Amino acid sequence: MMTFSRADNSLLSRWWWTVDRWMLALIFILITTGIWLTLTASPAVAERIGLDAFHFVKRQSFFLALALLTVVGVSILRIKWIKRISLIGLPVTILLLCLTLVIGPEIKGATRWLQIGSFTLQPSEFMKPFFIVSMAWILSAEFAGKPIPAKKIATCIYAFVAGLLVLQPDFGQTVLISGVFFAQMALAGMPMTWIFMSGLAGVMGLGLAYITLPHVANRIDRFINPASGDTYQTDKALQAFESGGLLGKGPGEGSVKLYLPDAHADYIFAVVGEEFGAIACVMLLLLFAGIVVRGLAHLLDETNPFRLLAAAGLIIQFGFQSLINIGVNLAVLPSKGMTLPFVSYGGSSMLALAIGMGMVLALTKRNRFIAPSTDPMGWKAAE
């Protein structure tokens, strides 16, 4: 186990004594679990489409290792660098979102990706942490007494980003970003009237999407009335849970996963249910819940508005995304292309989540053991 003296002023030592090591351990456990689950879920998918059995395992292992380094690397950064990276990253990823609409390849009726060599980049994944931290920076300006219409500026940026996501179209990410943004607005003191009007606007927007976009209408119709369309993946996912029962069929013994197209990606939770059972599903849920609760617990006595809004937004995004994916697997939510954090296959999602959780660790660092007068690197609790 890594140990450092509290008198050691090295970069790693100061990081070790200020970072939340329990949350770091939970994230590492989740990433390790993701490697294991990819190993059991992906070979069948790879062979079915004519690839090497361990094609996805090799790629995912590379991204997971890179994600581990990213989590640690970002968590070492000082708060001002978290702000700078986000304020630069947001306009860059917005530009990339615009490019997907022009040169992005159409996959399953959507243009959400950019092809860079053999790597497929999904800009919306990287946009999320930068957007959340940037919104926190803008909204926290009011608490500093700066005479700017922070909430109006933040709302305009949100509307522009949400519009780009709808044009792709990517309603899953739109719902996720909207939920996180309005949670941040509520924490920043948005009046109850605004909250009610925002909720009403969201319902009206969903209704408009249902009326004007066949893709959205089809998914909602299939969710409400499965007999109205193709529900193959959902049916197979539920069959996998039923097949696994309480204890599962054992690692590698699942049979339903052989016919589940996205068993390694959006529906990997169903593979967990079939091969490891309901108990393992609950344990995985508790792991996600532990990360969320641990992160939010840090904010109970937080007095810095930026740290509160940024960390809360990132944690809510992590938890909300987990719930959406699991809800889709259990057929309690309409089908959406949403990954299970650090578990589903996907390089863009993996690295973007690593950036986000690294930011959470950086924002929740506490210098409990070092006096400010002996803190030459500036890692004080407030900043």
pLDDT, tens digit, 9 for 90 and up, residues 188-229 = 988 778 777 877 877 787 777 778 777 677 777 777 777 666
Q: What is the mean pLDDT of the chain?
A: 87
pLDDT digits (tens, 9 = 90+) for 155-186: 999 999 999 998 898 888 999 999 999 999 99
Q: Are 183 and 170 within 8 A, CB to CB? A: no
Q: Are 217 and 186 within 8 A, CB to CB? A: no
> How far is Cα 370 from Cα 90, in angstroms, rounded to an integer?
34
pLDDT of residue 367: 56
pLDDT of residue 71: 97
Local structure of residue 110 (DSSP, 8 states): B
Average pLDDT rounded to a whole number, residues 266-291? 95
CA R_g for the chain: 21
Cis peptide before 261 (omega within 30 of 0): no
Cα maximum dimension of the chain: 68
Report helix, strand or coil for 114.
strand
> How far is Cα 240 from Cα 255, in angstroms, rounded to an integer?
8
pLDDT digits (tens, 9 = 90+) for 245-278: 999 999 888 889 888 888 888 999 999 999 999 9
More confident residue, 273 or 333: 273
Maximum average pLDDT range among 60-69, 226-235, 367-376: 60-69
* Helix 55-76 / helix 11-18 crossing angle, nearest 10 deg: 90
* Helix 347-363 / helix 21-48 crossing angle, nearest 10 deg: 180
Maximum average pLDDT range among 28-37, 227-236, 334-343, 366-375: 28-37
Residue of 149, 36, 131, 182 lying closest to 356 (CA atoms): 131
Maximum average pLDDT range among 6-10, 92-96, 229-233: 92-96
> How far is Cα 356 from Cα 313, in angstroms, rounded to an integer?
10
pLDDT bucket at 104, cuts 50 / 70 / 90: confident
Residue 290 pLDDT > 50, yes or no?
Answer: yes
